[in-house]
Structure 1
């Protein structure tokens, strides 16, 4: 019965064709979903805005500074803590010649304040505000203790710079590097860091330094392959106000702009290649499942780690 055999074969061919078309349709839908997901990721990242600082940003910077490093001792006073935080921000801002603010949908996400040798500070008004705030702090015992402790810490910073020679060898200083807690997972810290390095490179800054301490993520600078050129440990034998207001460990890191920027750019390319490879691997596995139709396959849960 050749005619019957041909008919059965045609039916079989049509079934296989329909199965292949269905499989291809599912694969196409999944690929479209993957492309849409990738586009959403790009749009989320693009919502981060990096811009120069305005004077009106001081309030947001101070609020996040206090949230991150606020010191309410010795009176456990939120008001005193905010005044101290504002003083720190003004002290870092006064000599700053370059600024970057990161915003997500208009919300403050982070900032960098830098001082480059030979350039004019952007906000001379900060010095006047700083003097006025010092007068206000000096009106109370707690405020005077705070001023004394901060002055001692400042003296330590200056001495560390002189002893290490970084004050002579450096073209610029990172005065403040602040990333909001709400910025976690949005790449704000990395974006601010890279933008600062690019600004330094454009301005001809060959070498820069920064102060950090045990209240911060000092390991970040080790990861960036910066060099710790000075360290000071605060002990119980030091001045009581210094112990009360200063972090336990203070460090100075120094680095060469072009080398660190090159590492950052290389790392960015490596992470991009890894991400694209992962996406391709997931798509390949999905396509293979469509073709082989494995009924016992169980989808693996994916856990994303927030930075």
Structure 2
């Protein structure tokens, strides 16, 4: 019997599942120890949750299989709870030498993203702030359902255009298939144990 996919609001119990999806999607264990990879995925999720006004979790057979987050830039305000959660996760990562090295590398990636947005010379009222899908559930149409839910939200908020940061370690072709356009690209050599040059992209989508 085929398991039913349900899109629902986030629940606290989802955190470990979503952290695991993040850890596997970005392959954190390639360049750091399991403990640091776990703390890094916790920080990444906390940061994403602090930067959103819309969030839906895809559940398959009672288990979270993916998540999408969006941001109405005009309506977003910092959340005390979100900031505290993010601070706690950051302190946990920075408590070890390896964690501090990884944090420095990711600060460089954040700078690349900021440069992409600045060079676009555009103002975006919305953002696709995070999207991830467990690799085991790809090809089943779940990603499209999550993306459609985000589009519905953007339309409800009367947001005409939104943007997304992504890179070549992700399935960025998915966004192109959904109608998003690449409008910026930068190379950056990530200074980690897996020393490689990556491509970082800025995509946009016109809701109208």
TM-score by length of 2: 0.90
Q: Counterparts of 1:155 and 1:69 in 2: how far apart (Å)?
A: 18
Q: Which has the larger share of strand?
A: 2
Q: Counterparts of 1:111 and 1:247 in 2: how far apart (Å)?
A: 28
Q: Which has the larger share of helix?
A: 1
Q: Counterparts of 2:132 and 2:33 in 1: how far apart (Å)?
A: 23
The runs of 5 or more residues in structure 1 that have no matched partner are 1-39, 259-307
The Cα of 1:185 is off from its aligned counterpart by 4.1
Q: Counterparts of 1:123 and 1:105 in 2: how far apart (Å)?
A: 32
Residue-by-residue CA offset, 1:123-161 (whole Å, 9 max, x unaligned): 642221221222222222111101111111111111111
Which of 12, 20, 44 does residue 63 from structure 1 map onto?
20
Q: Is the 8 A contact 2:19 2:41 kept in 1?
A: yes
Q: Is the 8 A contact 1:96 1:123 kept in 2?
A: no
Q: Is the 8 A contact 1:149 1:245 kept in 2?
A: no
Distance change >3 Å, CA 70–CA 86, structure 1 → 2: farther
Q: Is the 8 A contact 1:149 1:244 kept in 2?
A: no
Q: How does 1:110-189 map to 2 (within 5 A)?
A: 110-120=66-76, 124-166=80-122, 168=123, 170-189=124-143
TM-score by length of 1: 0.62
Q: Counterparts of 2:179 and 2:135 in 1: how far apart (Å)?
A: 24
> What SS does the aligned partner of 1:154 have?
helix
Which of 212, 228, 235 does residue 182 from structure 2 map onto?
228
The Cα of 1:253 is off from its aligned counterpart by 0.2
> What SS does the aligned partner of 2:67 have?
strand
What number of residue pairs does the alignment pair up? 208
Q: Whose radius of gyration is greater, 1 or 2?
A: 1
Kindly indicate whether residue 41 of structure 2 is the aligned counterpart of residue 91 of structure 1.
no
Q: CA RMSD in A?
A: 2.3
Residue-by-residue CA offset, 1:88-111 (whole Å, 9 max, x unaligned): 111111121000111112111111
The runs of 5 or more residues in structure 2 that have no matched partner are none
Q: Counterparts of 2:72 and 2:195 in 1: how far apart (Å)?
A: 28
Q: Counterparts of 1:117 and 1:152 in 2: how far apart (Å)?
A: 23
> What SS does the aligned partner of 1:91 have?
helix
The Cα of 1:197 is off from its aligned counterpart by 0.7
Higher RCO by CA contacts (8 Å cutoff, separation 6 or greater): 2
